[in-house]
Amino acid sequence: MVRIVKEYAERKKEIMGTARALFYQNGYANTSVNFIIETIGISKGTFYHYFKSKEDLLDNIVDEFTKEIISKLELVVNDNSLDAISKLNKFYRQAGMYKAENIDVIKTIVNALYNDKNLLLRYKMNNRSVELILPLMSKVFEQGKNEGSFDIEFPEATARIILLFGTSLGEYNAKLMMDLDENPANIEEMKKHFNIYQTSIQRILGAPEGSIEIFDEEIVDAIMEKYNES
């Protein structure tokens, strides 16, 4: 029984890894299921044993990417040596650095999801991301409330509002990112949005002036530079 489960996991990982590489190389829209299975050397029936469709495959890739970020954020949230403000700042910076290091995944996700035909898929993925991150951010906000650094009454509800705010901002910034080749000035527009988001979070939390530093311009520049190169 253990052997079968292991084989299943290995095959699924192989399909996802091959698909990711092909998506990066040729683009999501230009990579068919047939191309993926021919590259691996499996039957179409085998592919559909693991994934319902190409969209389901992408769904799994995004889920894997999100869970990898979550594992890094958990280390920050569970670090008892940090106060809540330090955790929140490091929380966002860790996420930013991970995205910069995995820009190929980001580019695949952005180019695949941000068109009208994938609106429902994007909506589902955004909601799942919020639900995965919500418990971690809520824990940080609860700590900040207890420490007196955050003037909030409902940590979980506050975390949800901030995450949904960030999701909406991410939607718009993704469109700016996709248009960078024709409009390089979009980078400055995105930085302005990040600064406003940072200030907004500080005010929502009632945190001390200048204490929330979740926006790192160097990380944004690195993400944009790698995005354009990839």
Domain ranges in the chain are: 1-51, 54-229
Task: Please state the pTM of the whole predicted model.
Answer: 0.78
> Exposure of 223 by Cβ count < 10 A (0-12 exposed, 13-18 middle, 19+ buried)?
buried
Token pair 């390089």 in the structure block, residue: 184
Mean pLDDT of 170-176: 86
Asked if the 1-51 domain carries CATH number 1.10.10.60, the reply is yes
Counting residues of the chain whose pLDDT is more than 90, the rounded percentage is 50
Of all residues in the chain, the percent with pLDDT exceeding 70 is 92
Most confident of 37-41, 66-70, 122-126, 171-175: 37-41
Task: Pick the more confident residue, 78 or 124.
Answer: 78
* pLDDT tens-digit map of 64-100: 888 888 998 999 999 999 999 999 999 999 888 887 7
CATH of 54-229, one of 2.60.40, 1.20.1640, 3.80.30, 1.10.357: 1.10.357
Q: What is the C-alpha to C-alpha distance for residues 154 and 78, in angstroms, rounded to an integer?
A: 20
Q: What is the CA radius of gyration of the chain?
A: 19
Q: Which of 4, 17, 111 is nearest to 64 (CA)?
A: 17
Contacts of 131 (CB under 8 A, 6+ apart): none
For residue 226, what pLDDT band results from cuts at 50, 70 and 90? low
**Equal CATH topology for 1-51 and 54-229:** no
d(CA 160, CA 163): 5
Structure tokens at 141: 């906000």
- Separation CA 193–CA 96 (nearest Å): 15
State mean pLDDT over 3-23: 80
Check residue 110 and give left, alpha or beta (phi > 0: left; psi -120 to 50: alpha): alpha
